[in-house]
Amino acid sequence: MALRIVARGTWLYGGSVETPVDVVSLDYDWGFEVDRADGRLEDGQVPDQLGPDGVLYYARFQHALDPSEPTWPDTTGCKTIGEAKLLAERKAAGGIHWSESLA
């Protein structure tokens, strides 16, 4: 289980404080693993299928730029980096300025 930062960006918290955001890839369904660890799996619950790259992508605000695990994503898992960026942009008032992709 390896976390990899695949995109970085910044947004303006409160309209004035530049704050980091990133997109990470995980080779597992983070939410499913949290539910399993907490004993909260429902009958028949299965992990989300990984995307074509063999991972799921998650946006992070609170733990942005921290390469260590465990982590705590701020979005659901996405099959593409672009989808994860869109979810992040919906959460950041004023938009996000993305650096060049690291993937």
Q: Is residue 56 within 8 Å of 29, Cβ to Cβ?
A: yes
Residue 103 structure tokens: 């993937």
Query: So where are the chain's domains?
Result: 4-94
Q: Is residue 92 within 8 Å of 13, Cβ to Cβ?
A: no
Q: What is the number of other CB atoms lying within 10 angstroms of the CB of residue 80?
A: 14
Q: What is the pLDDT along the chain (103 residues), one digit of tens a residue?
A: 689 999 999 999 988 999 999 999 999 999 999 999 999 999 999 999 999 999 999 999 999 999 999 999 999 999 999 999 999 999 998 899 999 756 5
Q: What distance in Å separates the CA atoms of residue 13 and residue 25, rounded to the nearest whole number?
A: 24
Q: What distance in Å separates the CA atoms of residue 85 and residue 54, rounded to the nearest whole number?
A: 18
